[in-house]
Structure 1
Amino acid sequence: MRKLSLAMKREERSFWVFIAPWFIGFICFTGGPILASLLLSFTEYNVISSPKFAGISNYSTLFGDRLFYKSLSVTLYYSVMAVPFTVVTSLIIATLLNNKIKGQSLLRTLYYAPSIISGVAVSFLWSWLLNPQFGVVNSVLYDWFGIQGPGWFTSPDTVVPSMVLMQLTASGSTMVIFLAALQSLPKDLYEAASLEGASAFVKFRKITVPLISPVILFNTIISMIGSLQIFTEAYVITKGGPDWNSYFYVYYLFDTAFKQFRMGYASAQAWILFLLIFALTLVSLWGSKKFVHYEYDSK
């Protein structure tokens, strides 16, 4: 085995010194709690008394819990609507902002800015905009078009679509990733397509979408993970209502852990969510093989 030179040893020590804060933080604040939650999922633990081993009773109880299936179905319903909406609208807006227009930088900043604001503040803003009595949206619909607006967050039929609509101010990061991908595309392909008489739509469908398909896949998976973890909107605006129609999975987990103090049961819920996200991510990666094209793919 070749011995390391003095400079290489010094570089190795520097590496471990610089990575130590992240490594310690990961163990203490991420890796440790993850392992602890796995162990607690096999116990009965109410924070006050010591954990008591309960085997797989938390998991067996969970699969017989009606609220588990209700919260899971509501979350999946939201995810099915929110993921395509977020990805498509972000891609459209990124495409528009990629064009050279006056005030381009300002428009990019204005669209991205809401995504860095607290989710609680954004939720309060939308609850005011979509208030059925005095909200701006319903006032505009009635005063300008004579249309009586829906109940939005107060109606079982519109509460989830209303929360999907909130993604308009939460998808700035997704838009920025798309924008970076669009700006890296080779211009000569578009020039050649223009010489062939291709329309803007054809160039978008035949050139843009295939070239940024890995980015589309990445944003789709990230949006899916985020949608399955929705919590703030329901906690601030609806408290899980009306009629349990916004009682999302993480909201149920929060109730179990911090209102009922059933930490073992909540840990089991968390691991079921992890396994669901992991499985859906694997399915997405497997199903994307025919549609995602990478630069290094063989011809």
Structure 2
Amino acid sequence: MKRKFRSEKTGYLFILPWFIGLLIFTIGPMIFSLILSFSKWDIITGIDSIQFVGLENFVNIFHDELFYQSLKVTFIFALVSVPLYQIIAILVAMLLNMRTRGMKFFRLIFFMPSVIPAVAVSMMWLMILNPEYGILNRALDLFGIIGPAWLQDPDYALSALMVMGIWGVGNTIIIYLSGLQGVPEELYEAADLDGAGVVKRFLNITVPMISPTIFFNLIMGIIGGFQYFTQAFVMTNGGPLNSTLFYNLFLYNKAFVSYEMGYASALSWILFGIIMVFTLIVIRSSSAWVYYNGDDEKD
């Protein structure tokens, strides 16, 4: 018993720094923001100036037109970009999984954009999407196509941000690549003997075998899609005409531009609830489409 207690004590001591960090930097701020969501505070004055207002912040939020506009923009972006990025990442990962000379170099090329800081990427794409001297519109001119004013046009600004996001799916590609490399070659060989084509092999072997990877990337994609902020903040700041006013950008403006910290805290908890609902939907549905290696043994 003494040896077991001593071993457990050592383990607890090792995780103590992490646990303290969790309390100070995660749980503590979450509790404080929950308190602020029922209060008014301008963040400039001291904590003593916090005024409890009950549900007033939440009532005001649901009467705010910009709240619904930010929800609309964020939902459109998430519903389009998350499936689009997953499909592109899977297809590219399948190409990178081919046994060809120099493939490690191509894997590096596709992965590198994902490690570049988001602000640097945003500044680069501001130049690419510039309607006057941007290389995208100049490339379109070669085919006789007049390029739009991408980020200055409310009809194209959100789509431009979605297209830009394709450039940075390297992390997702690498995760799919690791999942593909775990698919047994024997399954493909058996499918070849049965005369299965490329599409059948993909749908009946590849997709089920990498379904846990799809599940993970889908969850992370949903969370990332609803928390989209940096690119919109740097490139459009919500414009033009609020066409790129993402939820997190709206929250930021309320907290650090209007100094309505209570209002912003209420917004953050609403976002937490939205992400939680969509995440739980995916998790609850996973039993119908996610396959694990041990499932056959359990059956």
Q: Same fold (TM over 0.5)?
A: yes
The one of 20, 39, 61 aligned to 2:16: 20
Pairs within 5 Å for 1:37-186: 37-47=33-43, 48-49=45-46, 50-143=49-142, 145-186=143-184
User: Could you tell which deviates more after superposition, 278-287 or 261-270?
Assistant: 278-287
Q: Offset at 1:166?
A: 1.4
Structure 2 CA distance for aligned equivalents of residues 10 and 187 of structure 1: 47
Gaps of 5+ in 2: none
The one-letter amino acid paired with 2:101 is K
**Aligned counterparts of 1:159 and 1:216: Cα–Cα separation in 2:** 29
Identity %: 41
Q: How many residues align?
A: 294
Q: 2:277 aligns with which of 276, 279, 289?
A: 279
Q: 1:236 aligns with which of 210, 213, 234?
A: 234
CA contact (8 A) 1:115 1:173 kept: yes
Alpha-carbon offset, residue 164 of structure 1 = 0.8
With 250-259 and 203-212 compared, the bigger mean Cα shift is at: 203-212
Residues 159 and 245 of structure 1 are in contact (CA less than 8 Å); yes or no, is this contact kept in structure 2? yes
One-letter amino acid of the counterpart of residue 180, structure 2:
L
Deviations 1:112-143 (A, max 9, x none): 11111110001111111121111111111112
SS at match of 1:147: coil
Which ranges of structure 1 fall in alignment gaps of 5 or more residues? Answer: none
* SS of aligned partner of 2:183: coil
For 1:214 and 1:188, the matched residues in 2 are separated by 20
Quote the residue 2:259 is aligned against: 261
Instruction: Note the alpha carbon deviations across 1:30-80, whole angstroms, 9 max, x for none.
Output: 111011101110111112142111111111111111111011111101111
Q: Distance in 1 between matches of 2:18 and 2:167?
A: 31
Distance 1:34 1:107 in 2: 42
Q: 1:37 is aligned with what amino acid?
A: S
Name 1:9's counterpart in structure 2.
Answer: 5
User: Aligned letter for 2:165?
Assistant: Q
Aligned with 2:204 (options 203, 206, 221): 206
Counterpart CA distance in 1 for 2:290 and 2:148 is 39
Shift of 1:286: 2.5
Alignment of 1:186-205 (within 5 A): 186-205=184-203
Deviation at 1:200, TM superposition (A): 2.1
Q: 1:150: how far off?
A: 2.2
Q: CA RMSD in A?
A: 1.3
Query: 1:85–1:164: 8 Å Cα contact kept in structure 2?
Result: no
Q: Using the alignment, how far apart are the partners of 2:20 and 2:140 within structure 1?
A: 54
Could you list the per-position Cα deviations for residues 220-246 of structure 1 after superposition, in whole angstroms to 9, with x for gaps in the alignment? 121111011111111111111111100
Of 249, 259, 275, the residue aligned with 1:251 is 249
**Could you state the TM-score of these two structures normalised by the residue count of structure 2?**
0.95
Q: Secondary structure at the match of 1:202?
A: helix
